[in-house]
Amino acid sequence: MKRLTFCFSSLLLVVLFTASSVNGQGRNVKGWKAGVARVIITPERPQWMAGYGDRDRPSEGKIMDIWAKALAIQDESGKQAVLVAADLVGIPKKLSDHIRDQVKIKYNLSRSQIAINTSHTHTGPVLSDALVSIYPVNESQQKDIDRYTVQLGDKIVALVGKALKAMEPAQLYSGNGVTRFQVNRRNNVESALPLQSGLNGPNDYAVPVLKIVNKKGRLMAVAFGYACHNTVLAGYKWSGDYAGFAQAELEKTNPGVTALFLQGCGADQNPLPRRTVELAKQYGKELAAAVERVLNEQMKPLSAKLNTAYSEVELPLNAAPAKEELMEKTRSGAEYQKRWAHNLIRDIDNGVPLRSSYPYPVEVWKIGEQPVVILGGESVIEYAIALKRIFGPDLFVLGYSNDVMSYIPSAKIVQEGGYEGASSQMVYGLPSTWKPSIESVIIQEVITLAKEAEVQVVSSKVN
């Protein structure tokens, strides 16, 4: 009996050690470990495309496949994090919550340890529970969207597992490049650009770059970003737009490398001029060239320590319109505004309370010496500018992550109005506009999480 007990105990120790090895956490290793994985997410059948409200039919073929890619990292204490980059216009809360809940169950990663960034390509698919007011989708088409959304969630969960399983010893480096095809669309009129001798801001031309090299010195992966709408193309063919061409160019130049594009706070920045495949390719090559320059220069080596922090902060909304105002909108508004008003009236009639706030995701990572701020929604460029004043110019700032529920305007843009500040919430189905205080709420939450992640404040002055 004693021998059986000893054998069982030994077997249990082996099983526990094996499980720990697969998950990776709790194992002390010297230096970083990193792994990458990728999966095609191009819809297999014609489907409604996301981003433009004037489309009147589903997709018609592709320019290129669209992808989801994952980069998993592990520090020398065994702490892990996974960065997912996807060629989507955005990710809705319901899908994001499902993916992150499954990642917690399957791989024991908390929400602070996973970030899902979307490139905001406007030639990607519509997802369930997203942009509900824009498209005149029929019942059959909605079933296709729902089916695709479920499959997409399963693919991304599996993708995270593949990246974790693929981890190997690595070294991480960071740096910032620059390229200048973004144009502030609020302060420059697209049709007037040929007559202008200069462009009005604000802007942030930074190209953040994270380089991952294995122990043999081979480039494994590069994660890079830019803060600009991914809207060169507007047709009916699937593509990753300029961000897709940039990734393809880097992978062509560096065989065997996985390139991940990370969208920044580009909600009020457009690639101009635009609307041709040739321009999308040009901007992709310009962005890839900016990344290549950084890769070939001396980059900052990152020590193998990882800190992560996450929260959801309630952003306040103004009072929703009265039912009488909504009834008027159903008679006189644009088609998407009519659908928005009908949806709110339905909720009112069914006794469903309209939102007075929204749980907004904020995340802060510190990868070695590199701080990263990760924001939800379509965040405007002022957030990147303000945060770099606080944490320094080398800060990486991502938008369009974890939940894309609306535009996230600055206090100034809320007061000015316009599409980003006053009407875009209808596209996303929110009942009203944001209060100007959302900017200070978000900035303060970042500062709070930065302290938790041991990210140092350079200056406490936002302006």
Q: CA-CA distances (angstroms) from residue 11 to 16, 27, 179, 426?
A: 9, 19, 57, 59
Residue 7 lies in a domain: no
* Full pLDDT tens readout for the chain, 463 residues: 444 443 434 443 333 333 444 444 445 568 999 999 999 999 999 999 999 988 999 999 999 999 999 999 999 999 999 999 999 999 999 999 999 999 999 999 999 999 999 999 999 999 999 987 788 889 999 999 999 999 999 999 999 999 999 999 999 999 999 999 999 999 999 999 998 889 999 999 999 999 999 999 999 999 999 999 999 999 999 999 999 999 999 999 999 999 999 999 999 999 999 999 999 999 999 999 999 999 999 999 999 999 999 999 999 999 999 999 999 999 987 888 898 999 999 999 999 999 999 999 999 999 999 999 999 999 999 999 999 999 999 999 999 999 999 999 999 999 999 999 998 999 899 999 999 999 999 999 999 999 999 999 998 665 5
Residue 22 lies in a domain: no
- Could you tell me if 128 and 206 lie in one domain? yes
Whole-number pLDDT of residue 4:
41
- Could you tell me if 244 and 338 lie in one domain? no
- Could you tell me if 219 and 331 lie in one domain? no
- Could you tell me if 231 and 186 lie in one domain? yes
Give the position of tokens 């990486």: 396
- Could you tell me if 296 and 330 lie in one domain? no
Could you give the number of structural domains in the chain?
2
- Could you tell me if 379 and 274 lie in one domain? yes
The model's pTM is 0.92
Residue 82 lies in a domain: yes
Residue 443 lies in a domain: no
Residue 312 lies in a domain: no
- Could you tell me if 345 and 375 lie in one domain? no
Q: What is d(CA 271, CA 240) in angstroms, rounded to the nearest whole number?
A: 14
- Could you tell me if 93 and 207 lie in one domain? yes
- Could you tell me if 339 and 243 lie in one domain? no
Residue 416 lies in a domain: no
Give the domain extent around 399: 28-306+370-409
- Could you tell me if 161 and 226 lie in one domain? yes
Q: What is d(CA 207, CA 293) in angstroms, rounded to the nearest whole number?
A: 11
Q: Write out the two tokens for 65.
A: 């496949």
